[in-house]
Amino acid sequence: MRGLYIGRFQPYHLGHETVLQEISQEMEEIVIAIGSAQESHTTTNPFTAGERMEMICASLRAVDLRSRCYVIPVEDINRNSIWVAHLQSMIPQFDVVYSNNPLVVRLFSEANVAVRKPPMCRRDVYSGTVIRKTMREGGDWKRLVPESVAAIIIKIGGVERLSSVSKSDAS
Ligand code: ATP
Ligand code: MG
């Protein structure tokens, strides 16, 4: 059986890694779809699809899951009613989708795809929104992501990028 896991992974964090390890107990293979692939260099989407792919693949290698996962960027279509079909046209066939995102759950349920909701893992801190905020405020974000993700973010100057794109030229 093959499972699908979708996210924006801005950035990929320890909550995502925990969920993937749980999915790997139930599924032989996992398709990881990187959503909003066209987005980068914004406050909510600081990293490019390529950078997110590197983060995910490096972390999968560290937990020995790389050979069982497909990692595929998928651009937004901005039309929810046909988004599932769009996604299906871009990724390998899958049996079950794993998501906690209410819109994603709704769209797949309406398309008669089996949906499983993985339990949340320390959602108060393992959250892209919280991690981006922590980065902007100079807090300790490194403990919230896999080591290989922290190394990539440091290498590409991710924290400085987030701080630059958060600024305005208004005054
Ligand atoms: P953002 O705050 O930017 O939306 P996020 O942490 O929700 O970031 P996504 O890439 O949107 O990350 O999440 C992908 C999937 O992972 C979604 O289904 C989301 O509900 C789930 N997820 C995110 N954080 C956790 C967590 N700590 N435990 C379990 N699932 C999580
Ligand atoms: Mg989210």
For residue 117 and ligand 1, the question of a CB distance below 6 A is answered with no
The pLDDT tens digits for 74-91 are 999 999 999 999 999 999
- Amino acid 171: pLDDT: 66
Ligand 1, atom nearest to 99 Cα: 18
pLDDT band for 10, please (50, 70, 90 cuts).
very high
SS3 label, residue 158: helix
Pick among 3.30.70.1150, 3.40.50.620, 3.40.50.20, 3.30.70.360: CATH of 2-166: 3.40.50.620
- Percent pLDDT > 90 in the chain is 97
Please check the confidence at residue 169 and state whether its pLDDT lies above 90.
no
Bridge partner residues of 32 (DSSP): 5, 71
Domain ranges of the chain: 2-166
pLDDT digits (tens, 9 = 90+) for 125-165: 999 999 999 999 999 999 999 999 999 999 999 999 999 99
Q: How many helices (H) and strands (E) does the chain have?
A: 7, 5
Q: What is the pLDDT of residues 46-75, one digit of tens each?
A: 999 999 999 999 999 999 999 999 999 999
Given phi > 0 = left and psi -120 to 50 = alpha, else beta, which region is 71?
Answer: beta
pLDDT at 168: 81
For residue 170, the CA-to-ligand 1 centroid distance in Å is 32
Amino acid at 153: I
Say whether pLDDT at 25 is over 90: yes
Protein residue with least CA distance to atom 14, ligand 1? 7
Q: Is 121 in the pocket of ligand 1 (CB under 6 A)?
A: yes
Cut 0.95: pTM above it: yes
Q: What is the mean pLDDT of residues 95-99?
A: 97
Alpha carbon nearest to ligand 1 atom 3, residue:
128
Average pLDDT for residues 5-21, to the nearest whole number?
A: 98
